[in-house]
Amino acid sequence: MARENFPATMASTITDPPAKENPSPSPNDVRRRSFLKGLGVVGAALSAGSLLTGEAEAQDRSGIITVGDVAILRFLAATELIETDLWQQYNELGGIQDSEVPGGSGSRLYTKALEVLDGDMPQYIHDNTEDEMTHELFINAYLVSKGAEPVSLDPFRTLPSSQATGAQQIGRLTNLMQLSVDTTWYTRYRSRTGNPDLGDTFPQAIPSIATGQHPAIPRTDDDVQPDPSKPHHISDLTQAIANTAGFHFATIEQGGTSLYPQVAQRVTSLEVLRIVLSLGGTEICHFQTWSDKAGNSPQLSVVDPVTGSTVTFPDLNSPPFGGEDFQTNLIMPEPTAFLNRNLPACSIIRPTATKGAAMGALKAFTAGGLFIGQSPQFFKFMRTLAIEADLAVRQ
Ligand SMILES: [Fe+2]
Ligand SMILES: [Fe+2]
């Protein structure tokens, strides 16, 4: 959605940054650093913790944030703009179009197919979309309030909209019609032994949508033609597209669920840490919801008439699937190895290792087909933001 569509009250918060300048280090700062250099390893660890907390608090009081914090927030702002763009497309066709999330007029049979997964899907899609809009607006407004540059991806809104009835005809940042949906989150969060941070890998829940290019929204009205032989006249093709969306929702939100704790470990200001923890928590809420709904996808197998590829949604509760790695109602994170396999298993978000987190998120978006059709300038811009965010260190 275009920024100018937001209420004036929200837009006005991102104007008039207070003029703040980074003060040069005081003699006290210099003395403190040389003092740290002189400590032994244990002493440095203990004392540095309390001193760094004191420095962060002082920095919060002074209203300045570090270059690293700005870089992390700018990358997060970009990912939130990307999330907003893709969720807006889902809402136009399968959510609730209203004053909170305007745009589009819905695709009746696509919406009905989503409701097969859960009768509340349109409401949840609407609410997830609104959440992403507020994340993006808040982070950018906060950056401006600190005198930092906000992030705009407006020059890259060049991808075509779905041609199906219900979608707005506007330029998009993301492509939801040629996705490869990584569904390893499904088995990763059910595993009681594996953790990607310890080098483990996980099988796909729905292998047939993990490779190739699959629509998660109807491309044209051909994808939502009624089939009188099916319940509610929902064709297998329309249901397959809705099922693909159901898994993609969780794929996107588990990414946010990991990204926020990953970058939180490298922010300096306590206020920025509070922002990252508070926004990241809602990504977990989203993921948990979608993790529940994806397992309700009805079994089917259909050949996509556009791509010629077969899409199969199996019974995940029966052989060769089934068991704890696939059981559909195991929607809460199973306890698993964390930090060190000698420690007891623990129910956790995974992965959370911080090294290269931003570039990892960008690569995952890209590998999923979300940016098919985007310009080299877009990738260059996003790569720069990711590199800068990954260079940030906690001070
Ligand atoms: Fe978000
Ligand atoms: Fe999200």
Plot region of 63 (φ>0 → left; ψ -120 to 50 → alpha; else → beta): left
- State the distance from the centre of ligand 2 to the C-alpha of 283, rounded, in angstroms: 5
Question: How far is it, in rounded angstroms, from Cα 236 to Cα 216?
Answer: 13
Q: What is the mean pLDDT of residues 298-304?
A: 98
Q: What is the mean pLDDT of residues 54-72?
A: 79
Q: Phi then psi for 19, rounded to 5 degrees?
A: -75, 115
Rounded to the nearest integer, the mean pLDDT of the chain is 88
Q: What is the mean pLDDT of residues 309-324?
A: 95
Note the ligand closest to the C-alpha atom of 280. 1
Q: What is the pLDDT of residues 221-271, one digit of tens each?
A: 999 999 999 999 999 999 999 999 999 999 999 999 999 999 999 999 999
Q: What is the pLDDT of residue 19?
A: 35
Q: What is the pLDDT of residue 63?
A: 74
The DSSP bridge pattern shows strands 300-303 and 310-313 to be antiparallel
pLDDT band for 312, please (50, 70, 90 cuts).
Answer: very high
Q: What percent of the chain has pLDDT over 90?
A: 84
Q: How many Cα atoms within 13 Å fall on the side-chain side of residue 100?
A: 13
Lowest-confidence pick of 10-24, 123-137, 215-229, 263-277: 10-24
What residues have their beta carbon closer than 5 A to ion ligand 1? 80, 83, 132, 135
Q: What is the pLDDT of residues 337-358, one digit of tens each?
A: 999 999 999 999 999 999 999 9
Check whether 202 has a pLDDT greater than 80. yes
Q: What is the mean pLDDT of residues 52-71?
A: 76
- State the distance from the centre of ligand 1 to the C-alpha of 81, rounded, in angstroms: 8
Note the ligand closest to the C-alpha atom of 253. 2
- State the distance from the centre of ligand 2 to the C-alpha of 87, rounded, in angstroms: 9
Q: What is the pLDDT of residues 98-132, one digit of tens each?
A: 999 999 999 999 999 999 999 999 999 999 999 99
Q: How many Cα atoms within 13 Å fall on the side-chain side of residue 204?
A: 15
In the chain, DSSP assigns E strands to 300-303, 310-313
Of 11, 23, 28, 170, whose CA–CA distance to 85 is shortest? 170
Q: What is the pLDDT of residue 37?
A: 30
pLDDT band for 191, please (50, 70, 90 cuts).
Answer: very high
Q: Which two three-digit tokens encode residue 322?
A: 């089934």
Question: How far is it, in rounded angstroms, from Cα 289 to Cα 286?
Answer: 5
Q: What is the mean pLDDT of residues 210-225?
A: 98
Q: What is the mean pLDDT of residues 60-71?
A: 86
pLDDT band for 320, please (50, 70, 90 cuts).
Answer: very high
- State the distance from the centre of ligand 2 to the C-alpha of 281, rounded, in angstroms: 10
- State the distance from the centre of ligand 1 to the C-alpha of 80, rounded, in angstroms: 5
